[in-house]
Chains A and B, each alone.
Chain A
Amino acid sequence: MDKAIEIKNLTKSFKNVPVLKGINLDVERGTILALLGPNGAGKTTTVRILSTLIQPDGGEVFINGYNAVKNPNSVRASIGLTGQYAAVDEYLSGYENLVMLGRLYHLNYADAKKRATELLEQFDLVEAGGRIAKTYSGGMRRRLDLALSLIATPPILFLDEPTTGLDPRSRLAMWAIIEQLVQAKTTVLLTTQYLEEADKLANSIAVLHNGTIIAQGTANELKDKVGKERLEITIAEGHNFKQAVSAINGQAISSDEKKRLISIATSGAVSEIKRVISLMENHNIEIEALSLHKPTLDDVFLNLTGHKTTKESEEE
């Protein structure tokens, strides 16, 4: 198989604090890999190593077949990078930013100008294209930043939280663009806090936690890991929630005392559901509502890392 990105046993520490403790990851050409992980997991650090901005301590990284440490310039010619924080030249207009970057990628001048115009259209920046970027809103800067990483149509793209700070409409537009890029055989590695995003876009999802990849697979494979079905019960007001949680004892994947909600991994078999109901009856705890649903990536994330996703509260 043709691998666009190969990471072998990658390690990195900052001031003797290990951040990456041996990461192995491959991304096949023309696919999207989503790198998921809680704040501080090392997602940005990984992207910065892959894009030759920092050196790894150990292990090997191949991008487009080139060794990132020994052959950084070949790697740079193969990639586009959008970092976590928008990096645009504030004193240049959107158009000038794009043309400048295109020329630094050694597109000829006419191509750089043509491509810049195309990207302004694609990212809905035509009107703002002539204004200096200092006057842009956060979302506009972000879109310009993304456009900049596409100027030279690189075969491999690194996007560090590409849709953070975008409004829902721009996010959808971004997703559509990423999907088209992949149709055009671009390989994308993106990090995200939005599980929905990984679920929707990625062919493969890797979960980074405590310096290693603790799970990798398709969204469905990961969901299967935490049980085929999710049983959610709401405990009636006035009944002892804590007692209910301890009665289920260990089986509960998560509980939310405010919503009085307990979520339990199950195969979905009727007998298992009956068992939970009778367990509650035995303790004289009333179940107000009961529902069965497929696990979401949130469930996976929570289950694997013990962390809630940080952006959960912001999710619409």
Chain B
Amino acid sequence: MALSNYHSYKSADEHHSKLYWLVHDLSIFIGRSLKHIFKNTDQLLGLTIQPIMFMLLFRYVFGGAINTGPISYVNFLMAGILVQSVAFGALTTSLSVATDLQRGIIERFKSLPTISWGVLMGHVTADLVRNIIQAIIMISVGLLVGFHPTATLWQWVEITGIVLLFTFAISWVAAIMGLVAKTIEAVQWMGFFLVFPLTFASAAFAPTSSMASGLRIFAQNQPVTHVIEAIRALMIGTPVGNHAWLAVIWCLGIIIVSIPTAGYLFRRYSGR
């Protein structure tokens, strides 16, 4: 058997700097999570079809009953549906993290001489990539059903930036949820508690001004609304106001708090 050369495989550690290996290991974890996306085609399909169904549902069924003033409902809806799909999609990070914990693969990574928290970074980064794909599909379908954006190229860059920043922020929150929930089942109910109120009690499907006062105060001031309002305004050329800045500040705040929290929970996790 091939054991005569057993000790001929040597770590190439000394040949490169610490920074090189950090980037190297991160890229392996990211590559792993990206492969997961494309090998788990059922999930990818589900995550893409669901928001499209929502969009068609609201566009053709509920849309007529919601008053969005001079803006056509499909133009109003696009930003909301996009952000909602990002928020739901982030739950795959929670699921991936919980699955990795349950399957014991995190234990294995932790026994390696590497940055094992990179596994979280991998899932979060894969979320960014998947969201870009989903957003492109969704906007294309939107164009088919009457969505009429007026954004300039620069505004599209701004929109992309906000979407990615929001995805990154909410994916880290999702990673924390995965670490706290530890099981796939727990992720599912936790996810709905977080994502449903944040996306429905927002400006996603109806103007906040139409809501009852208690709900309205929440809806007008929560981060998801700022993100939606900013994206919508940029898409269809209405005044952006403070929404863009508030959205960016909220996202950065969430990122600054959630990364160390996730890191702490990850380090503290000690099996079963």
Contacts and interface: CB of A to CB of B under 8 A. Distances in A.
A148 B31 CA distance: 18
B11 A152 contact: yes
B1 A180 contact: yes
Nearest to A132: B39
Contacts, number: 101
A60 B224 CA distance: 50
A140 to B, nearest CB: 15
B112 A76 contact: yes
Contact of A87 (B8, B9, B105, B270): B105
A51 B111 contact: yes
Nearest to A115: B9
Contacts of B24: 103, 106
A101 interface: yes
A73 B113 contact: yes
A48 B271 contact: yes
Interface residues of A, number: 46
Contact of B111 (A81, A92, A111, A177): A81
Interface size band for B: 20 to 34
A86 B32 CA distance: 18
B32 A89 contact: yes
A91 B40 contact: yes
Interface in B1-16: 1-3, 6-13
B148 interface: no
Q: Which among A83, A87, A104 has the highest number of chain B CB atoms within 10 Å?
A: A104
A79 B129 CA distance: 35
Given A106-B21, A111-B9, A184-B7, A118 B111 contact: no
B75 to A, nearest CB: 39
A118 to B, nearest CB: 5
Interface in B86-134: 103-105, 107-114
Q: Which of B21, B25, B114 has the most CB of A within 10 A?
A: B114
A87 B11 contact: no
A273 interface: no
B104 A87 contact: yes
Interface in B23-82: 24-25, 28, 31-32, 35-36, 39-40
Interface in A77-135: 77, 79, 81, 83, 85-92, 96, 100-108, 111, 115, 118, 121-122, 132
A53 B104 contact: no
Given A83-B107, A87-B103, A87-B105, A181 B6 contact: yes
A307 to B, nearest CB: 23
A121 B111 CA distance: 25
Interface string A31-74: 00000000000000000100111100000000000000000011
Contact of A76 (B12, B31, B32, B111): B111
Interface in B199-216: none
A305 interface: no
A60 to B, nearest CB: 19
A104 B28 contact: yes
B104 A76 contact: no
Given A52-B111, A106-B21, A91 B9 contact: no
A47 to B, nearest CB: 10
A117 B25 CA distance: 21
Interface in A145-168: 148, 152-153
A89 B9 CA distance: 23
Contact of B12 (A87, A92, A108): A108
Point out which of B12, B13, B110, B111 has the most chain A C-beta atoms below 10 A from its C-beta. Answer: B111
A122 B2 contact: yes
A85 B9 CA distance: 27
A53 B35 contact: no
Contacts of A85: 104
Contact of A107 (B12, B114, B271): B12
A103 B113 contact: no
Contact of B1 (A54, A89, A122, A132): A122
Nearest to B11: A106
Contacts of A87: 103-105, 107-108
Nearest to A72: B113
A86 B112 contact: no
A26 B3 CA distance: 26
Contacts of B104: 83, 85-87
A16 B214 CA distance: 47
Contact of B11 (A77, A79, A183, A184): A77
Contacts of B270: 53-54
B112 A92 contact: no
Nearest to B14: A106
A73 B160 CA distance: 39
Nearest to A82: B108
A103 B109 CA distance: 12
A104 B114 contact: yes
**6 smallest A-B Cβ distances: which pairs?**
A87-B104, A77-B113, A76-B113, A184-B6, A87-B108, A106-B11
Interface of B: 1-3, 6-13, 21, 24-25, 28, 31-32, 35-36, 39-40, 103-105, 107-114, 270-271
Given A83-B104, A91-B35, A184-B6, 6 more contacts: A53-B111, A92-B39, A104-B114, A105-B112, A106-B21, A122-B2
